[in-house]
Amino acid sequence: MKNNTRENYRPKSGQQTKGRASAARQTVSVSQESQPRKSAHRTHRTSEIGLFLLHHQQMMWQSLQRLLKAPIATFMTALMIAVALSLPAMLYLLIENAQTLSSRWDGAPQISLFFELEAPAESVNEVFGQLQQDQRFSKVELITAEQALSEFEQQGGFKGVLQHLSSNPLPATIVLQPKQVDGAYHQQAIAETLKQIKGVEQVQFDTAWIARLNAMLQLGQRAGAMLAGLFALAVILVIANTVRLAIESRREEILVVKLVGATNAYVRRPFLYMGLWFGVLGGLLALVLVHCLIWLLTDPVADLSQLYETHFEIAAMTLDASLLLVLTSGVLGWIGALFTCQRQLRMIEPR
């Protein structure tokens, strides 16, 4: 019985082994058939991407060649864009230079106490001694009326002229340097206290002009941002109108291309690159205009700085700012062309 059982079992095991081998062969054959399909699909997809990129490259250079074939019209359009971009760029540059000038201030505020012309020297010296004992001030300096007149003669170039005056027109002055000044409210409180001193005619903070300059710079920044937005809209409209005229001039060509199955995305590519090139060329010309304006302002600014006995030069646009200007101009050109293409190509359809 045991032998019969083993004999009966062996054939069944062999049948199972054959079945498993057959299934494995079928799996291998299916996988071998699917591999060429996957490989063909990947190759087809890669070729589609390559053709897509190749067409973009061709359209980019063909658009540039079309613009170069009409150099005068291209230059005039790019110059119009450059003028619109150079104005906010120059305003931005002037604000940056003004901020650099204000940042050179050492930040140590000073208070000047101007006494009345009739104030006796004894009372001035008494006030000077009291302020030296005041813990709110780290430095107290007295400039007498005679010292002020002597400094004015030397610095103003009026030596010998003021000697003919019957009296000294300059008052005695005490210059104070506070240890800490926190905001305009604290400045006003100190000024009100010092005005109560007998014989003091005027109290002046030497940093007041810095505060006014910073307020004006903040206003200029906001005005510059608004101006840049308006001129950016103008650039978009100029490029949009230029691209619209280009589309209308090639209406018949667009109709023929659409008859053979071209989509709007395919048709608009050369016009998008046209807007991009207009923007880039306009940005480059704007850089040239800005540097020309800086060159024209160099000598007047140098003369003005010499009058104030300082050395200040207008800083040109940095490389990052220049690249940002050209890139922004190109993006504006692309947006303007895209806006026009979306509208115009829908109106051009074969009947």
pLDDT value of residue 123: 86
Region of poorest pLDDT, from 79-83, 118-122, 159-163? 159-163
Evaluate whether 116 touches 171 at the Cβ level (below 8 Å). Answer: yes
Q: Which of the two residues, 348 and 101, has the higher pLDDT score?
A: 348
pLDDT of residue 309: 60
Q: What is the pLDDT of residues 253-267, one digit of tens each?
A: 888 888 888 888 888
For the domain spanning 111-206, the CATH number is 3.30.70.3040
3-state secondary structure of 200: strand
Rg (CA), the chain: 40
Contact 88/228 with Cβ under 8 angstroms?
A: yes
pLDDT tens track for 292-343:
998 988 888 888 777 766 667 788 888 898 999 999 999 999 999 999 998 8
**Helix pair 251-259, 264-307: axis angle to 10 deg:** 140
Q: Give the pLDDT confidence score for residue 178 in this predicted structure.
A: 78
Q: What is the pLDDT of residue 162?
A: 56
132-150 average pLDDT score: 83
**In this model, does residue 274 exceed pLDDT 90?**
yes
Contacts of 251 (CB under 8 A, 6+ apart): 348
Mean pLDDT of the 211-236 span: 86
Instruction: Give Cα separations from 86 to 231, 315, 336 (angstroms).
Output: 10, 16, 19
Task: Name the residue among 171, 169, 173 with its Cα closest to residue 110.
Answer: 173
Task: Look at residue 24 in the predicted model and tell me its pLDDT.
Answer: 47
pLDDT of residue 324: 93
Domain boundaries, the chain: 53-105+211-347, 111-206
- Give CA–CA dist 351/285, Å, rounded: 43
Confidence of residue 9 (pLDDT cuts 50, 70, 90): very low
Share of the chain above pLDDT 70, in %: 75
DSSP string, 125-191: HHHHHHHHT-TTEEEEEEE-HHHHHHHHHHHHT-TTTGGGSSS--PPPEEEEEES---HHHHHHHHH
Q: Is the model's pLDDT at 137 over the cut of 90?
A: no
173-203 tens-digit pLDDT: 888 887 765 555 566 677 778 888 888 888 8
Comparing 87-91, 171-175, 241-245, 304-308, the range with the smallest average pLDDT is 304-308
- Among the residue ranges 39-53, 229-243, 266-280, the one predicted with the least confidence is 39-53
Query: Residues 235, 87: contact at Cβ < 8 Å?
Result: no
85 pLDDT more than 50: yes
Helical (H) or strand (E) element with 205? strand 200-205
Q: How much is the mean pLDDT over the chain?
A: 78
Rounded-to-integer distance, Cα 231 and Cα 226, Å: 9
Contact 330, 313 (CB under 8 A): no
Query: Nearest 10 degrees: CA dihedral of 38, 44, 48, 50?
Result: 90
Which of 80-84, 125-129, 151-155 ranks highest by mean pLDDT?
80-84
Longest dimension (CA), the chain: 151
